[in-house]
Chain A
Amino acid sequence: MLFEKGHALMNKEHFGNLTLGDIDPGDEVVVRNINLPAKIRRRLLDLGISPGVRITCTACAPCGRPKAYSVGSSTIAIRLDDAKEIEVEYINKNENKSQK
């Protein structure tokens, strides 16, 4: 039941803007907007995740969430709830993996 909930969230693409939570390992995106509360947003900015930055999704935890993203040269895992609030745009979509 809980898995279905997660699944619905992940297929949010047609709902609104594409977010960091929607992308799969291998996809490369550029950050557009971070719609999180000030403190969390600030933490992400300090980690180097700011609008205009390129991010690649590198891994996905066995439960489907959270996902890990490589920013610059470091790898950071962000919870899905937060990742869903980060609007992104595709640079590179990994076609082999996204057929599910």
Chain B
Amino acid sequence: MKIKVKSKINKNNEDNTSDDKNYVTAALAGNPNVGKSSLFNKLTGLRRHTGNWSGKTVDLASGFFVTPDSKKCELVDLPGTYSLYARSEEERVSRDFICFSRSEKIIVVVDASLLERNLIFALDVCEAKNNVIVVLNLMDEAQKSGLCIDCNRLSKMLSVPIIAASAKTGMGLDEIKCAITDDRYKLPSVHISRPTIEDATEIVRKKVDEIGKTGDLSARWLAVKFLENDAEFVSQIAFRLGYSSDELFEIDDAICRANETLKKSGFDPDNISDYAAECTAKHAREIANACVQKKGGKKKDLTGKLDKYVLGKYTAYPIMLALFSFILWLSAVGANYPSDLLFGFFSLVGDRLSYLMRDLPEMIRAPFLDGIYLVLTWVVSVMLPPMAIFFPLFTLAEDFGILPRIAFCLDEPFRRSGSCGKQPLAMCMGLGCNCTGIMGSRIIDSDRERILSVLTNSFIPCNGRLPLLITLSSLLFFGMSAHVRGMLTAIALMAFVLLTVFMTMAVCRLLSATLFRGRRSSVTIELPLYRAPNVGQVIVRSVFDRTLRVLGRSLIVAAPAGLVIWLMSNLTLLDRTPLSLLNGILDPIGRFLGMDGVILSAFVLGMPANEIVLPIILMSYSGGGHLTQTPSLSTLGTVLSNNGWTMRTIVCTAVLCLFHFPCAPALITVFKETHSKKATIMSVVIPLSVGVIVCTVLSHVLLLFEG
């Protein structure tokens, strides 16, 4: 991620210098969860997902709009950050963009109702740069809760233009567009007083001014940063602003002199960073006190009341479990009907296609229709409906503000397994699609814990595997009355999902005791106020942004997979098809694990998209040359038991379905996120070895029962 994002910023710089004057860039920055992404959507008309929790923006996104004086403006949405003193990778991205990109304006978005805290960041940026605009977002919410903010006064105290805005009502959007190219506002940057280190700062500032390489940054702010001695940032400054080693040496010399003066006055230079931050925070507090009047409000009461139950000692876990099972149930059961409709539709289209292609030679027609087309439509029919239900529901929960509370409640159990409370959020996303879950792991601050979350995400059965899991669960209770079976299936499914959660925690624990030993991280989770989600917007956005993207990703790999499967089952090699050869080779291993070769090769061939595992199994058993639709449960049960399936086979297959290797798109995502071949290999080895171990144990234990 590091390399990719940095190259993006560099590209931006180049674009700016080379392009004409009708092209400007601006960036949206601010604390997490202040509505940057909503503003971004409103300004650029782009659909970008927004959520009511910290760390939603996981990559740089940019969009365009035209300013009133008809210039084209590229707007970049930066990941939320609490300060320019960066701690995680995302924060570094934001910091570097703010400090070193040559954007026309930095738009600092602050949450009007959390002014005091937000101003700490805003002040930091206002001190560093002189092209800042502060946008008071969520102004309507603040007014409703009885806050009265004196914008003129705030503008004077920060010495930047202030725009009161609300992404919801559209207030202030035009002003923002105007302000981007308005140079009247180039005011001197704000002065934050730090009396104790003033003399020391002055020594370094003189040197910085003398060298003159400040970029767009204020010399005084740079001087403080040099004194703070954040090695990583200093090397960034030196690199980006082009300091030579001689110049750095001179700066070092100035820092030493400054530190001497501090020591003489009895101040430990190690405390500069803290002191600087405290001064900024104090200044922010003073400004907030001067500009905000509170007339009493009600908003927080609702949050308090709800939190009593959502975070309550006895109610928290039941509420979470109920919510979780509800979402799971709805996306699993509710998806059956649209799935069947889609199957019907695609088979109609297939017949039509086959009619149209009747003149083409069989060698072209068959691989296309029975291979590519069949697998593609299969994946769509199985995958689309549950995702189209799951993602909007998840997004609603997200917008409402429930996710950080889940992280809060689950932090302790996950801390004990060496991870943190943000991991379950990535796991929840993994239920929709493991790729989303793996990318979502970026919300985790510590690198060590992020890797743990990336490596174990494929444990969680995604929407591609859930249908198989449901079918297997209901086969377990085959022969019982439909009513009882439904109940037991749901319980078995829940047990399987809880098994994966347990395994995730166990493996995290094991990994953090062996391969990923490291400091426990400090976790700070912000619990936002509950916000009513905008239902219509949520549905549209989650369908377009997530569902279709995830679907597209699987289709890209499903098409070639369809061809491969067709070839495997139709070519002849040594008088047999390659598929049956593979089945034969894998059979001894499969038997050992309580299954057979057919099941194993189905998992291997199903790697591009796990939806097609069961169809491949059925195809192998029937000896046919192409996939056929899953028959009714009773037919399925008979077919499978005729091929030697027992209770033991079903359980072992279900376990292997949970713990094998990640699907191809997920593997690609792991590599993209970690930039490490080692991690990618581990993401295969870890779940596979868990699966093999659990299957071996289970198959041998269950064998005893079968006698």
Binding site for B on A (CB under 8 A): 2, 36, 38-48, 50-51, 53, 58-66, 68, 71-79, 81-82
Contact = CB atoms under 8 A, between A and B. Distances in A.
Interface in B52-88: 82-83, 85, 87
A48 B408 contact: no
Given A63-B412, A75-B526, A79-B411, A38 B273 contact: yes
9 closest residue pairs by CB, A with B: A46-B83, A63-B412, A45-B277, A72-B116, A77-B525, A75-B527, A62-B316, A40-B522, A46-B82
Interface stretch (B194-202, B259-267, B305-313, B631-639): B305-313
Given A66-B421, A76-B526, 7 more contacts: A48-B285, A50-B281, A59-B408, A60-B311, A66-B523, A72-B116, A75-B528
Contact of A39 (B87, B115, B523): B87
B527 A76 contact: yes
Contacts of B117: 47-48, 71-74
A66 B83 CA distance: 23
A64 B412 contact: yes
B114 A62 contact: no
A46 B116 contact: no
B524 interface: yes
A17 to B, nearest CB: 19
Interface in B281-313: 281-282, 284-285, 288, 304, 307, 311-313
A77 B116 contact: no
Contact of A48 (B281, B314, B409): B281
User: Which residue among B120, B121, B304, B416 has the maximum number of chain A CB atoms within 10 Å of its CB?
Assistant: B120
A42 B277 contact: yes
A77 B120 contact: no
Interface of B: 82-83, 85, 87, 113-117, 120-121, 270, 273-274, 277-278, 281-282, 284-285, 288, 304, 307, 311-314, 316-317, 408-409, 411-413, 415-416, 421, 520, 522-528
B274 A38 contact: yes
Contact of A59 (B113, B311, B526): B311
Contact of B82 (A43, A51, A66, A71): A43
B522 A82 contact: yes
6 contacts: A61-B409, A71-B117, A73-B117, A77-B524, A77-B525, A81-B520
Contacts of B408: 59, 61, 66, 68, 77
A60 B311 CA distance: 7
A73 B416 CA distance: 30
A46 B411 contact: no
A42 B225 CA distance: 13
B274 A45 contact: yes
A76 B54 CA distance: 11
B281 A74 contact: no
Given A42-B274, A61-B409, A68-B408, A76 B313 contact: no
B273 A47 contact: no
Contacts of B83: 42-43, 46
Contact of B411 (A45, A59, A61): A61
Contacts of A36: 522
Contacts of B525: 66, 76-77
Given A66-B412, A79-B415, A59 B307 contact: yes
Contacts of A75: 526-528
Contact of B120 (A46, A64, A65, A76): A46
A47 B32 CA distance: 11
Given A59-B311, A74-B526, A46 B121 contact: yes
Contact of B277 (A40, A50, A58, A60): A50
Contacts of B273: 38, 42
Contact of A76 (B311, B409, B524): B524
B411 A77 contact: yes
Contact of B274 (A41, A47, A64, A77): A41
Contacts of A78: 522-524
Contacts of A53: 281
A88 B523 CA distance: 20
Contacts of B270: 38
A43 B312 contact: no
A71 B282 CA distance: 13
User: Which residue among B115, B288, B304, B523 has the maximum number of chain A CB atoms within 10 Å of its CB?
Assistant: B523
Contacts of B527: 59, 68, 75-77
A21 B602 CA distance: 53
A73 B413 contact: no
Contacts of A46: 82-83, 85, 120-121, 277, 281
A73 B274 contact: no
A19 to B, nearest CB: 15
A48 B412 contact: no
Nearest to A83: B522
Nearest to B317: A62
A88 B408 CA distance: 22
Contacts of A60: 311, 313
A64 B408 CA distance: 11
A71 B277 CA distance: 16
Contacts of B524: 43-44, 47, 76-79
Contacts of B285: 48, 72
A51 B278 contact: yes
Contacts of A68: 311, 408, 527
Contacts of A76: 524-527
A76 B528 CA distance: 9
B126 to A, nearest CB: 15
B312 to A, nearest CB: 7
Nearest to A72: B116
B349 to A, nearest CB: 51
User: Which residue among B114, B408, B416 has the maximum number of chain A CB atoms within 10 Å of its CB?
Assistant: B408
User: Which residue among A2, A43, A58, A60 has the maximum number of chain B CB atoms within 10 Å of its CB?
Assistant: A43
Contacts of B413: 63
A42 B230 CA distance: 11
B236 to A, nearest CB: 16
Nearest to A63: B412
A64 B316 CA distance: 12
Nearest to A78: B524
A72 B411 contact: no
B143 to A, nearest CB: 14
B401 to A, nearest CB: 11
Nearest to A6: B412
B278 A61 contact: no
A40 B520 CA distance: 12
Contacts of A50: 277-278, 281-282
Contacts of A40: 522
Contacts of A38: 270, 273-274
Contacts of A61: 311, 316, 408-409, 411-412
Contacts of A63: 409, 412-413
A76 B527 CA distance: 6
Contacts of A2: 416
Contacts of A64: 412
A68 B408 CA distance: 8
A28 to B, nearest CB: 15
User: Which residue among B288, B409, B524 has the maximum number of chain A CB atoms within 10 Å of its CB?
Assistant: B524
A73 to B, nearest CB: 5
